[in-house]
C-alpha cells in the first residue's frame, strides 16, 4: 500500500512543480530585434543576414532610392554599407545602435517594430521593421529606414 502511494505521489510531483513559462511573443520579438542590432553593431555578416527572410524588402534612408527586393538585392547593398562602416573602425562594435521610443505591435504571426535613432546630427532617423514568425523564429520581412531634418520639427516626448 505504501509503495502504491509513493508511486502515485512520485507521478504527481512533476506536474505540480512550477513549469517554466514560455517567452511571451513580445519578448521573442525583442530578442530577435536585439540579435539583429547586435549583429549590425558588430558587423557580424552571417548573423545579420540570417535575421532576414529570403523575400524581405528594404528601403534605405539615403543614397539608395530604390527598394531592395529579396535577399540578393538587399545583401548587395548591405555588403557595401558594411564595407564603408568597417573602413572607419578596426574592431567591433563598429556602431552603437540605440533605439529610442521603441514600440512593438504584434498581430498574430506578424510584428511591427518602430523606433527613432539619434545617430546623425540635425536629423531624426526613423525605422520600421516588420517581422514574421517562421519555423526558424522571427525574421525581418521588411525594413524601412527614413530620416527627416530636425530643423522646424517638433518632437513630442
Q: pLDDT at position 62, please? A: 82
* Predicted confidence (pLDDT) per residue in 133-147, tens digit: 999 999 999 999 999
> Is residue 17 in a domain?
no
Confidence of residue 34 (pLDDT cuts 50, 70, 90): very high
Q: What is the pTM of this model?
A: 0.81
Adjacency order of strands within the sheet including 100-107: 68-69, 52-59, 137-149, 123-134, 110-117, 100-107
CATH assignment of the domain containing 85:
3.10.450.50
Does 7 fall in a domain? no
Which parts of the chain fold into alpha helices (H)? Answer: 2-16, 25-42, 45-49, 71-86
Q: In this predicted structure, what is the pLDDT of residue 65?
A: 87
> Would you state the pLDDT for residue 90?
87
Per residue in 101-132, pLDDT (tens digit) is 999 999 999 999 999 998 778 888 999 999 99
Tell me how many domains the chain contains: 1
In a domain, 37, yes or no: yes
To the nearest whole number, what is the mean pLDDT of the chain? 87
> Average pLDDT in the 86-115 region?
94
Amino acid at each position: 500500500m505504501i509503495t502504491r502511494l509513493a508511486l502515485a505521489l512520485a507521478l504527481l510531483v512533476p506536474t505540480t512543480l512550477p513549469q517554466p513559462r514560455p517567452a511571451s511573443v513580445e519578448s521573442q520579438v525583442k530578442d530577435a530585434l536585439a540579435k539583429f542590432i547586435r549583429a549590425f553593431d558588430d558587423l557580424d555578416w552571417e548573423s545579420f543576414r540570417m535575421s532576414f527572410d529570403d523575400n524581405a524588402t528594404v528601403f534605405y534612408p539615403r543614397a539608395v532610392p530604390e527598394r531592395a527586393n529579396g535577399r540578393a538585392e538587399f545583401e548587395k547593398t548591405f555588403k557595401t554599407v558594411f564595407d564603408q562602416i568597417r573602413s572607419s573602425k578596426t574592431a567591433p562594435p563598429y556602431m552603437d545602435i540605440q533605439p529610442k521610443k521603441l514600440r512593438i505591435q504584434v498581430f498574430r504571426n506578424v510584428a511591427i517594430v518602430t523606433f527613432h535613432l539619434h545617430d546623425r546630427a540635425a536629423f531624426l532617423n526613423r525605422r520600421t521593421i516588420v517581422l514574421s514568425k517562421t519555423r526558424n523564429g522571427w525574421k525581418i520581412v521588411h525594413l524601412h529606414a527614413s530620416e527627416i531634418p530636425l530643423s522646424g520639427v517638433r518632437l513630442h516626448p
